[in-house]
Amino acid sequence: MVLAAGLGKRMRPITDTIPKPLVPVAGKTLLDWGLDALQAEDVERAVVNVHYLADQIDAHVSQRVSPRITVSDERRELLDSAGGIVKALPQLGDQPFYILNADTFWLDQSPSSLSRLAALWDDGRMDILLMLASMDDVTGHSGSTDFLLDGDGRLERAKGDPSGLVYAGAGIVHPRIFDGADTIPHSLNAYFDRAIAAGRLHGMVMRGRWITVGTPDAIAPAEATVAAWRQQEQ
């Protein structure tokens, strides 16, 4: 599930004419950074939700061969992160699935972060498994940390603790967490908190660089990070 329905207000004036997931960074759109990561894991199908300037995203994803894209249409009402997933559940099925934010991406080496997440997933212990980044490995993040990770991989809220980690916009969730949920606007944060209370929110620290592009002035640092990474790999 690729969450691509946001309004992208902080990216104005760029997003006056194009949706944020289609903003180009280092040679490809933010959306394609995520879809390419899924393709590299041989993910066959991805659900992409749309709302703002949805026709542009529709046209863009229709050109992809892999993964095959199913569009979840939120033109009538923006449903936020969890509401969008609930609406898409009929397309997502009853098995754990990746979730990705369409406005962040990452650079890593083999084994990839997504393959490491899949290898770490334990259905008996987890309802949600989040990809996390160290503050030393992020570009464009101006906020504080999100989670503290214990020795068993469980997470709790960092509450501003500088030793914490940043949620890196990707993870695996089991659809059972949405049992009984209504298709109304609501956030994934409520599900994170429920999983914390049950001891079933886990995390994995990525190896590489995580990049978030929230405002127009974040594009240049993001592209510099990508250029430096590519130079290092040559």
The stretch 102-109 carries a mean pLDDT of 92
* Residues 100/2, Cβ–Cβ less than 8 Å: yes
Residue 49, helix vs strand vs coil: strand
- Distance separating alpha carbons of residues 179 and 191, to the nearest angstrom: 11
In the predicted model, what is the mean pLDDT of the chain? 93
For residue 178, count other CB atoms closer than 10 A to its CB: 17
Q: What is the pLDDT of residues 2-23, one digit of tens each?
A: 999 988 888 899 899 999 999 9
Query: Residue 78: what residue type?
Result: L
Instruction: Report the pLDDT value the prediction gives residue 149, as an integer from 0 to 100.
Output: 95
pLDDT at 124: 94
Q: Does the structure show a pLDDT above 90 at 133? A: yes
Q: Where do the domains of the chain lie, and which CATH numbers do they carry?
A: 2-233 (3.90.550.10)
Q: What is the pLDDT of residue 234?
A: 64
Instruction: Say what the pLDDT of residue 96 is.
Output: 96
Question: Between the CA atoms of 187, 189, 195 and 200, what dihedral angle is there, to the nearest 10 degrees?
Answer: 110
Residue 142 is predicted with a pLDDT of: 79
Closest by CA to 173, choosing from 206, 211, 203, is 203
pLDDT at 101 over 80: yes
In sequence order, the β-bridge partners of residue 49 are: 72
pLDDT of residue 183: 93
Nearest to 102 by CA among 8, 207, 219: 8
pLDDT tens by residue, 38-75: 999 999 999 999 999 999 999 999 989 899 999 999 99
Residue 97 β-bridge partners: 173
- Do 60 and 29 form a contact (C-beta atoms < 8 A)? yes
Tokens of 8: 């992208």
Average pLDDT of span 123-131 = 96
**76 burial level (CB within 10 Å; 0-12, 13-18, 19+):** exposed
Which residues 6+ apart lie within 8 Å of 172 measured at CB?
96, 97, 98, 99, 117, 118, 121, 126, 128, 129
The structure's pTM equals: 0.92
Q: Rounded mean pLDDT of 107-121? A: 93
pLDDT of residue 106: 95
> pLDDT-derived band of residue 139, with 50, 70 and 90 as boundaries?
very high
Residue-wise pLDDT tens digits, 150-207: 999 999 999 989 899 999 999 999 999 999 999 999 999 999 999 999 999 999 999 9
Mean pLDDT in residue range 143-149: 92
